[in-house]
Amino acid sequence: MVNSIFGQTGTSIFESMSRLATETGAINLGQGFPEGFEPAPLIEAAVQALRDGPHQYPPMMGLPALRRAVAENAKRFLDLDVDWQSEVLVTSGATEALADTFFALLDQGDEVIVFEPVYDAYATLIRRAGAKVVPVRLTPPHWELPREALVKAITARTRLIVVNTPMNPIGKIFDPEELSFLADLAIAHDLIIVADEVYEHLVFDYRPFHSLFGVDAIRDRVVRIGSAGKSFSVTGWKVGYVTSSAGLLQPIARAHQYVTFTTPPALQAAVAVGLTLPDDYFSDLRRTLGARRDLLVRGLRDAGFDVADVPATYFAVADIGPLDPDGDDLAFCRRLTLEAGVTPVPVSSFYGDRDVKSHVRFCFAKTEETILTAIERLRQWREKEGWRAAS
Ligand code: PMP
Ligand code: GLN
């Protein structure tokens, strides 16, 4: 009666922890969504577009203005040369872009390598596309690319490697050496790389971000995915974009035309305005988010959490080993919600086997007030618990 893949999956951890936070009145630092960062010109552009119309199906590939803006933004920030007409597709969020890509490029029995900890949508969509998920693990504290394990994981059936850079939940930015190692593998084994780069603009401390699409030798082997939800702090809008060579984009567009066909035109028009905002918008976003990161990381450390440095994304990951004698990150997140009134998400949800239960993830893309209140709650909870701050 029920499809075996979706029949096996439960409710996503982001949804279930958000529900728990709402039910209990806890501060929700679980699901990754920002609070109060939406740029006014983007919202005004959406309002205007809704007033003006049109309200009917836009072109299947996306509004020309948005596709041009995607290419322009990639040139401006990453020096990528993209032909907006043949190399850009607009989708309903990065999630749809991922689904379209897997449905278009995979066949029964193909294998796809993903790096754990990994965003939860990949595995289910890959399986639904008929392929097998082959996880390769990055391990704390340095989360380096495990080159040997990666090479070993490649077989004659491997078709794709999915690379999320900057990486949810750990904030890792793949460096040029790692990208060139991946590129060599893609060429040697005739693979395609799906580059989920939704956090491309959320990189802190003037660190550089390099897109896989910018590695010349594999330009025609990379499907680059972006999300307006992240770049403009409007996660509910679900506007995403795919950039790839025309040869790869055509089958992906064919999948797109049977998954959603198009994306709301007013939101596309507004995102086109967003992508063409002056450099200041993007640098201010990085600076403000970077400051919120500092606030949360400092507060968590003061409250006795062992938090790693965060180069990018919305997320700080804490090793709860010393705080969680039960070794169960999900139970720990529930406990923190009920007892402290602060909700993180368990990092075990980012592992297929759910067996790494030592870390939890907090989202810092919030107002200063939200972060300070959350920290105060955690501090009081720790005092009550009598835990000593990690030295
Ligand atoms: N990829 C990653 C790594 C993400 O964290 C998210 C978070 N939502 C997505 C894709 C999905 O993006 P969207 O909301 O645009 O579908
Ligand atoms: N990407 C978001 C996160 O990691 C969640 C998206 C979702 O809720 N599906 O928190």
Q: How many CB atoms lie within 10 A of CB 206?
A: 9
**Mean pLDDT, range 331-343, rounded to an integer:** 97
pLDDT band at 351 (very low <50, low <70, confident <90, very high): very high
- Are the beta carbons of 121 and 169 closer than 8 angstroms? no
In DSSP terms, which residues pair with 132 in a beta bridge? 111
Quick one: pLDDT at residue 390?
45
Task: Give the pair of three-digit tokens for residue 368.
Answer: 């200063």
Quick one: pLDDT at residue 140?
83
pLDDT for residue 196 is more than 70: yes
Say how far residue 55 (Cα) sits from the centre of its chain: 29
Average pLDDT, the chain: 96
Q: How many CB atoms lie within 10 A of CB 321?
A: 14
The pLDDT tens digits for 105-117 are 999 999 999 999 9
Q: How many CB atoms lie within 10 A of CB 170?
A: 24
Q: Which of 73, 74, 60, 67 is nearest to 219 (CA)?
A: 74
Mutate which of 114, 126, 168 to test ligand 1's pocket (most atoms within 8 Å of Cβ)?
168
The residues, any chain, with a CB within 8 Å of residue 48's CB and separated by 6 or more, are none
Q: Is 199 in the pocket of ligand 2 (CB under 6 A)?
A: no
The pLDDT tens digits for 67-116 are 999 999 999 999 999 999 999 999 999 999 999 999 999 999 999 999 99
Residue 228 amino acid letter = A
Quick one: pLDDT at residue 137?
97
Task: Give the pair of three-digit tokens for residue 297.
Answer: 């990381």
Quick one: pLDDT at residue 101?
99
The pLDDT tens digits for 357-366 are 999 999 999 9
Please give the C-alpha separations between residue 265 and each of 64, 84, 162, 239, 276, in angstroms, as whole numbers: 11, 17, 29, 10, 17
% of the chain at pLDDT higher than 90: 94
Q: Closest ligand to 100 CA? A: 1
- Tell me the Ramachandran region of residue 339: left when phi exceeds 0, alpha when psi lies from -120 to 50, beta otherwise: alpha
Nearest 5°: phi and psi at 110?
A: -65, 160
Mutate which of 12, 13, 14, 348 to test ligand 2's pocket (most atoms within 8 Å of Cβ)?
14
Separation between Cα atoms, residue 304 and residue 292, nearest integer Å: 18
pLDDT band at 141 (very low <50, low <70, confident <90, very high): confident
Q: Is 168 in the pocket of ligand 2 (CB under 6 A)?
A: yes
pLDDT for residue 388 is more than 70: no
The protein residue whose alpha carbon is closest to atom 3 in ligand 2 is: 32
Quick one: pLDDT at residue 299?
97
Nearest ligand 1 atom to the CA of 119 is 3
Quick one: pLDDT at residue 8?
86
pLDDT band at 1 (very low <50, low <70, confident <90, very high): confident
Quick one: pLDDT at residue 389?
43
Say how far residue 74 (Cα) sits from the centre of its chain: 18
**Mean pLDDT, range 250-271, rounded to an integer:** 98
Separation between Cα atoms, residue 214 and residue 315, nearest integer Å: 25
Domains of the chain: 4-31+280-390 (3.90.1150.10), 40-277 (3.40.640.10)
- Are the beta carbons of 129 and 106 closer than 8 angstroms? yes
Separation between Cα atoms, residue 68 and residue 190, nearest integer Å: 30
The β-bridge relationship of strands 315-319 and 306-307 is antiparallel
The pLDDT tens digits for 214-241 are 999 999 999 999 999 999 999 999 999 9
Rounded-to-10 torsion of CA 293, 239, 219, 137 = 50
**Mean pLDDT, range 128-133, rounded to an integer:** 98
Separation between Cα atoms, residue 108 and residue 313, nearest integer Å: 33
The pLDDT tens digits for 276-332 are 999 999 999 999 999 999 999 999 999 999 999 999 999 999 999 889 989 999 999
The sign of the torsion formed by the CA atoms of 346, 350, 356, 358 equals: negative
Q: Closest ligand to 202 CA? A: 1
Please give the C-alpha separations between residue 332 and each of 303, 345, 360, in angstroms, as whole numbers: 15, 9, 8
The β-bridge relationship of strands 192-196 and 158-164 is parallel
The sign of the torsion formed by the CA atoms of 114, 118, 124, 125 equals: negative
- Are the beta carbons of 303 and 389 closer than 8 angstroms? yes
**Mean pLDDT, range 2-26, rounded to an integer:** 95
Separation between Cα atoms, residue 170 and residue 154, nearest integer Å: 24
Quick one: pLDDT at residue 377?
97
22: part of which helix (H) or strand (E)?
A: helix 13-24
Q: Closest ligand to 166 CA? A: 1
Quick one: pLDDT at residue 391?
41
